[in-house]
Structure 1
């Protein structure tokens, strides 16, 4: 509310609401598929895989098809809107940001490009928050924000820390300084969201100078 006083009074436009619904459903199906694969693995360890092999295979095929259908719908909505298509192109130009991450950023963070980098980090829950009381007193930690979006950005940061040469050097410096893995990935994710926010604000694609 501090970043956008009009938030809560203006609903996102129809295409954003539709994208949000589709990405949410896709996420639910992906989680269901993960649980199914875990169950299949457990059946294998227990020696009961043969009992459910056909049933599990049929369910996995169904989930695969439904996820693919949702992804096609998402791509069609983005492609049909010039502004959304341009934003998606900008986001996907950044090594580490793929179709899933770009769609989630578009659907769950319509403020992208209209706010500061610090505000973008705060909205995704990647800005360090100082604790002034309790057991965490004197320490800083991330929290709040849009949890689903933060999870996607963590996944993007993992990829970027190895395949985006600018962010790989940034991550390597932190690792050399002895920072724990979680701290490194959180810092990369925070830098990543500030970069994509700036790119969207300037309507420019990624270059190695973007960071």
Structure 2
């Protein structure tokens, strides 16, 4: 069995738990800087696997250096690790590292490799995160300005400052979107994927970029079903014995990606004839709830996206699928 190193990541350092040559658990603290991480990775034996809780940028340096050396790394969500342990008491960094190691040892057959993204994809991720921050700030300013309209009187100076900030935010958001577009255009793989996805009615730059980032250019999240699960739009059955409560989506999905896919679904039913007819069938004839229909449209969009990316061709609105009742000619 591969030796497992459980790692509890933090900004300044990370705690490592592993089994030593004497068969006993060992603990080590490594500073989260390149020199110390290199020194730690030099001590990792061949065939070992690093298992860590996914904590954003704190593990990026470790992941990049391990990837260069060919050391297997698995980043797992904290929710999955915590809920696999049952009832536990107490918490500290060394204890958390040991629990992550134990999780890796129990679930070794289920662990998948996590790889550091390409430089273009990594930069795209940072640009998108910055854009999201500015969009949130713009929304806050817009909300304040709407509230100011209800004031008995307004400060002209304060209003001017808020409007100036709003103009600056709009300009910076457009600038970031231009840089994201240029970055994608200058990378052959990202450009090809972007052209394919944006050829589908309803899909724009923001959602396309988010899908590329979240799925590592459709390589890590390799199927429409997995992507729907990631976004929290995949329905799951809820039944036991004689009780059947039907299928429902999970609340554990990526809320931002889910929101963007819903917006694309709303756009698709306006400009995509097949989706418009599907929406009429489900909403007006079968009397399904509007959000159920929207969820179904989002799932259909993902299936089309993945089919087009796998095929490597742009969307053809005049494409007619082969009738499955007809036998294919030999």
Deviates more, 1:40-49 or 1:94-103: 40-49
Question: 1:20 Cα shift?
Answer: 1.3
RMSD: 2.4
Partner SS for 1:138:
strand
Contact kept? 2:215, 2:222, Cα under 8 Å: no
Question: 1:50 Cα shift?
Answer: 4.4
Cross-structure match for 1:24: 129
**Distance in 1 (alpha carbons) for counterparts of 2:291 and 2:194:** 28
| Count of matched residue pairs | 207
Consecutive unaligned residues in structure 2, runs of 5 or more:
1-75, 77-106, 322-330
**Distance in 2 (alpha carbons) for counterparts of 1:180 and 1:46:** 39
Cross-structure match for 2:145: 40
Which digits, 9 at most, give the CA deviation of each residue in 1:17-73, with x for residues without a partner? 211111121112112111211110110022344443201111101111211121121
Q: Which runs of 4+ in 1 moved over 6 A?
A: none
**Distance in 2 (alpha carbons) for counterparts of 1:47 and 1:132:** 56
* 1:45-124 correspondence to structure 2 within 5 Å: 45-51=150-156, 52-110=158-216, 112=218, 115-124=222-231
Bigger share in strand: 2
Contact kept? 1:126, 1:186, Cα under 8 Å: yes
**Distance in 2 (alpha carbons) for counterparts of 1:204 and 1:49:** 55
Which digits, 9 at most, give the CA deviation of each residue in 1:92-146, with x for residues without a partner? 101100111111111122262772332232222211122358xx97242212333
Cross-structure match for 1:163: 271
| Residue number among 224, 233, 237 corresponding to 1:126 in the alignment | 233
Consecutive unaligned residues in structure 1, runs of 5 or more:
none
Query: TM-score, normalised to structure 2's length?
Result: 0.58
Higher Cα Rg, which structure = 2
Question: 1:88 Cα shift?
Answer: 0.7
